[in-house]
Amino acid sequence: MFFFVGLAVVFGCVFGGYIMAGGKMAPIIKAAPIEGFIIVGSAIGAQLIGNSVGIFKGAISGMGKCISGAKWKKQDYLDLILMVGKLLAVMKKEGAVALEAHVENPDSSAIFGEYPRLLKDHSIVHMICDTLRLVVIAQGNLDANAVEDVMTNAIKTHHHDELKYQGTLSSIAGALPALGIVACVLGVVKTMGAIDQPPPVLGALIGSALVGTFLGVFVAYGVFDPMASRLGQIIDEEGQVYNVIKHMIVGTLQGHPIPLVIEAARAVISHHNQPSFAEVFDGLRGK
């Protein structure tokens, strides 16, 4: 919702102010399709040159996230804590070997099955299962600090990969003003070819050329640069789920009491998504 409000404010202020100053929209409307085709098309082509298909698709998907917002909400964080908590409770009660059925085939796990939305996210499932698989193999005899290092590195790698999508949007924002100048120069070249035309014709041609520069700067700093910034915020927020998993598993391996494990997990969640201690504790007790 805020995305479209912001977009409306940007367009309203720019074009509203232009019209209030006596400007006519006709020249911009007439020139915008061709100038936009040159600028945006070449910006997309440049990103196809500079990125893999996966990163490019991720950037397009990231634009959708700027509209929809972060994927995980308060209920998802509560469900995640409960899901990991139940798996760790199995380990404490029945031993590490009892986790094998859950981590080797999470799709058939009764615990994972309680939380279908989380089960659909392969990154979350792999983070949990890959770590707990180490616990199973080592029969519970693992150094908690070593496990923490492994998980921290895995989270950093995942976060670094996600930020590549933001980088692509930032690259588009950075390229658009220059590509707007390219479109403008082509417009000037076209104008030079009609130098024998009367002033009204030349004026229209020069105005069309300048629309290219305007569009490049406007779309860069009014649309793509804010989107890149917003995507970075969303990536940071969505990355909190992995820190929840890390703190719960590591805290349990370190022998910390359940209340401390819960509080450590809650502490890495933004306040607007943070479930209360009572909600988590009651959920783990089956209330």
* Residue 244 included in any domain: yes
Question: Between residues 95 and 82, which one has the greater pLDDT?
Answer: 82
Rounded to whole angstroms, what are the CA distances from 61 to 33, 162, 231, 276?
A: 24, 11, 10, 32
* Residue 6 included in any domain: no
Residue 286 confidence (pLDDT):
67
The pTM for the full model equals 0.87
pLDDT digits (tens, 9 = 90+) for 14-71: 999 999 999 889 889 998 999 999 999 999 999 999 999 999 999 999 999 999 999 9
**Mean pLDDT along residues 79-101:** 90
Q: Which tokens in the block code for residue 230? A: 């917003």
Please name the helix (run of DSSP H) or strand (run of DSSP E) that holds residue 101, with its range, or none.
Answer: helix 100-104
- How far is C-alpha 104 from the chain's CA centre? 29
Q: Token match 């469900």: residue?
A: 79
Whether the per-residue pLDDT at 83 is higher than 70: the answer is yes
Q: Which domain holds residue 194?
A: 28-287
Q: Cβ neighbours of residue 242 under 8 Å, at least 6 residues apart?
A: 123, 124, 127, 151, 154, 155, 158
Residue 256 half-sphere exposure toward CB, CA atoms < 13 A: 18
* Residue 176 included in any domain: yes
Rounded Cα–Cα distance for residues 266 and 178 (Å): 45
Residue 287 confidence (pLDDT):
53
pLDDT digits (tens, 9 = 90+) for 170-201: 999 999 999 999 999 998 898 888 888 888 88
* Residue 18 included in any domain: no
* Residue 20 included in any domain: no
Rg (CA), the chain: 27
pLDDT digits (tens, 9 = 90+) for 224-247: 999 999 999 999 999 999 999 999
Whether the per-residue pLDDT at 285 is higher than 80: the answer is no
* Eight-class DSSP state of 193: T
Share of the chain above pLDDT 90, in %: 69
Domain count, the chain: 1
Using the CB atoms, write b or e for 22-48: b if 16+ within 10 Å. Answer: eeeeeebeebbeebbebbbebbeeebe
pLDDT digits (tens, 9 = 90+) for 252-276: 999 898 889 999 999 999 999 999 9
Rounded Cα–Cα distance for residues 80 and 244 (Å): 8
Q: Which tokens in the block code for residue 90? A: 């199995």
Residue 101: phi, psi to the nearest 5? -60, -35
Residue 141 confidence (pLDDT):
74
* Residue 54 included in any domain: yes
* Residue 108 included in any domain: yes
Amino acid identity, position 101: A
* Residue 13 included in any domain: no
Residue 140 confidence (pLDDT):
60
Work out whether the CA dihedral 273, 274, 275, 276 comes out positive or negative: negative
